[in-house]
Amino acid sequence: MELAKAKEAAELASQAKSEFLSNMTHELRTPLNGILGYAQILQRDKTASPKQKHSIDLVYQCGTHLLNLINDILELSKIEARKMELLPKEIHFPTLLISVVEICRIKAQQKGISFIYQPSSCLPAGIVADEKRLRQVLINLLSNALKFTDHGGVTFKVEVISNDKAVQPPLPRIYRDQQEGEVITDKIMPLIGKAPESPMVRIRFQIEDTGIGLNPEELETIFLPFEQFGDSAIRDQGTGLGLAISQKIVNLMGSHIKVESTSGKGSVFSVDLDLPTTTVMDHKTKIYTNTIVGFQGKVRKIVVVDDKPKNRSFIVNFLQPLGFKLLEASNGVEGLEKAIEFHPDLIITDLVMPVMDGFEMMRRIRSSEQLKQIMVIATSASVYELEHQQSQDIGWIDILSKPVNVEELLDKLKRHLQLEWVYEQYDTEVSKIKIESVKKVLPEAIVPPPADVLAELYDLAKKGNMFAIIKSA
């Protein structure tokens, strides 16, 4: 009886915690949407002086740091509440690794240390995995190694340690939580566009550094939330949540992070993952290094529905100069009226609004013969709410989390409206990234970018925003 009451109390406390975090996230993200939104617009202003650009960049970096802190706390809470879902899909494995390596290589050059990338020649071209989460784990582990290494360098090895012709195991998998010691069931969404059976391969990711290392006492607590090591200057560079989140994500993938370390000599972190393989086309990414000034073809009409004027004005002021025709609405009723009157190509709508919310407006659009073909992108400052509605398949074609990232917005507009961007200088050269398995990248080989640019690339990599990274390259 007492056990049942304790369990009920724990469940109520967990629910209250989730609701509190959801509400606080919404309240914090709403003003950040305006701050980061206009900072991104001002960053594109070619009339700004170098001093003004530096100040704008500083505003954006500080806002992004706060956003990352919010995201890390929320993400850890989601994992602990068993609310994180993996979304496996087919990905081109070498491209994923290159994107991670290039970001970390820049940071190594900035610090004046070497970075060695050693991929096995037997790596599969295609795997099935949650690309965002896998990238997040690798960047977190590599960033930690680089952060704690001032002399020598970091070596990143990726190798196949076993090929198994067995098929993918049935879902869901069972794994053992490293901190709590309990057996729980993870949640893995059905594979996107994947056959029920796939050959499996076990891949080892190993990161070795010559940094400060860890003593035995630190090894026991390294994966606990908010645990930080090193001097105050190093501690200020993070939230103390990266390793805790990475371990939880790897647990969801059916494995765990191993670490060997000697104080004063360095550390070795490794992860072994069993991944289904797949045959995917080798895709080549076009690099566009210049500013978008418009798009080809007819004018596209977009209705922006949000009860907060500053949220609407940010999107309107960003997209209007590119040639879009923008219409504004403050709630679902006005949004429907604008849709009926102008029949837009796309609606970008908030979810929580007075009079009529985004959910009801969406239902009415989908039930209307006149409007049901209009594409809708949902935006929300409440991450829990947005992900829940996505799983319920309300009917929108895509989602945007606030604060809205302009590169992500442009990427979604390009994809769904089938746009062809016009650039200041349109460059169709294909990126040719040279992979050298064991070649050291010496600090004098390339002049590193400024610290603010490096910080921005690092933040984009943590978010998995490849469109923005490629554009900045």
The pLDDT tens digits for 278-298 are 875 444 444 444 678 899 999
Q: Please list, in sequence order, all residues whose beta carbon lies within 8 angstroms of the beta carbon of residue 385, skipping any fewer than 6 positions away.
A: 22, 26, 351, 352
Lowest-confidence pick of 131-145, 170-184, 311-325, 449-463: 170-184
Inform me whether the pLDDT recorded for 46 exceeds 60. yes
- Write out the two tokens for 395: 């009917």
pLDDT for res 84: 67
Query: Helices 93-111 and 131-147 sit at what angle, rounded to 10 degrees?
Result: 20
Lowest-confidence pick of 98-112, 262-276, 322-336, 417-431: 417-431
Q: What is the mean pLDDT of residues 146-170?
A: 77
Distance of CA 332 to the CA centre of its chain: 29
334 confidence band (pLDDT: 50, 70, 90): very high
| Percent of the chain at pLDDT exceeding 90 | 24
Q: What is the mean pLDDT of residues 328-346?
A: 94
Lowest-confidence pick of 87-91, 191-195, 369-373: 191-195
Inform me whether the pLDDT recorded for 174 exceeds 60. no
Token pair 């499996």 is at which residue? 200
Q: How far apart are CA 457 and CA 50, in angstroms?
A: 20
Q: How far apart are CA 381 and CA 332, in angstroms?
A: 17
pLDDT for res 155: 94
pLDDT for res 304: 95
436 confidence band (pLDDT: 50, 70, 90): very low
Lowest-confidence pick of 41-45, 137-141, 164-168, 269-273: 164-168
Residue 50 φ/ψ, nearest 5 degrees: -55, -40
In three-state secondary structure terms, 395 is coil
Q: How far apart are CA 230 and CA 360, in angstroms?
A: 52
12 confidence band (pLDDT: 50, 70, 90): low
pLDDT for res 249: 87
396 confidence band (pLDDT: 50, 70, 90): confident
Q: Letter for the amino acid at 174?
A: I
Q: How far apart are CA 371 and CA 378, in angstroms?
A: 16
| Percent of the chain at pLDDT exceeding 70 | 67
- For residues 114 and 440, the answer to whether their CB atoms sit within 8 Å is yes
How many other C-beta atoms are found inside a 10 Å radius of the C-beta of residue 301? 18
Inform me whether the pLDDT recorded for 11 exceeds 60. yes
DSSP secondary structure letter of residue 356: S
Inform me whether the pLDDT recorded for 382 exceeds 70. no
pLDDT for res 441: 44
Q: What is the mean pLDDT of residues 182-193?
A: 39
pLDDT for res 37: 81
Q: How far apart are CA 163 and CA 183, in angstroms?
A: 27
Buried b (16+ CB within 10 A) or exposed e, 31-60: ebbbbbbbbbebeeeeeeeeeeeeebbebb
Inform me whether the pLDDT recorded for 190 exceeds 50. no
Inform me whether the pLDDT recorded for 153 exceeds 80. yes
- Write out the two tokens for 342: 């102008």
pTM over 0.75: no
Buried b (16+ CB within 10 A) or exposed e, 436-448: eeeeebebeeeeb
Inform me whether the pLDDT recorded for 431 exceeds 60. no
Q: Higher confidence at residue 172 or residue 451?
A: 451
Inform me whether the pLDDT recorded for 421 exceeds 80. yes
Inform me whether the pLDDT recorded for 434 exceeds 60. no
Q: Please list, in sequence order, all residues whose beta carbon lies within 8 angstroms of the beta carbon of residue 291, skipping any fewer than 6 positions away.
A: 44, 423, 424
Inform me whether the pLDDT recorded for 154 exceeds 90. yes
Q: Higher confidence at residue 341 or residue 63?
A: 341
The pLDDT tens digits for 213-267 are 888 877 777 777 666 665 544 444 555 577 888 888 898 889 999 999 888 889 9
Q: Higher confidence at residue 18 or residue 133?
A: 133
Residues in the chain, how many? Answer: 473
Q: How far apart are CA 72 and CA 344, in angstroms?
A: 37
Average pLDDT, whole number, for the chain? 76
Inform me whether the pLDDT recorded for 71 exceeds 80. no
CA distances for 162 relative to 129, 138, 204, 273, 280, angstroms:
17, 20, 9, 10, 21
pLDDT for res 463: 62
pLDDT for res 444: 46
Q: Higher confidence at residue 178 or residue 384?
A: 384
Strands in 48-196 per DSSP E: 89-92, 114-119, 126-129, 153-164, 174-176, 183-185
The pLDDT tens digits for 295-327 are 999 999 999 999 988 889 889 999 999 999 999
Q: What is the mean pLDDT of residues 347-367?
A: 90
Residue closest to 157 by CA, chosen among 216, 204, 218, 217: 204
Q: What is the mean pLDDT of residues 431-450?
A: 47
Q: Higher confidence at residue 217 or residue 340?
A: 340
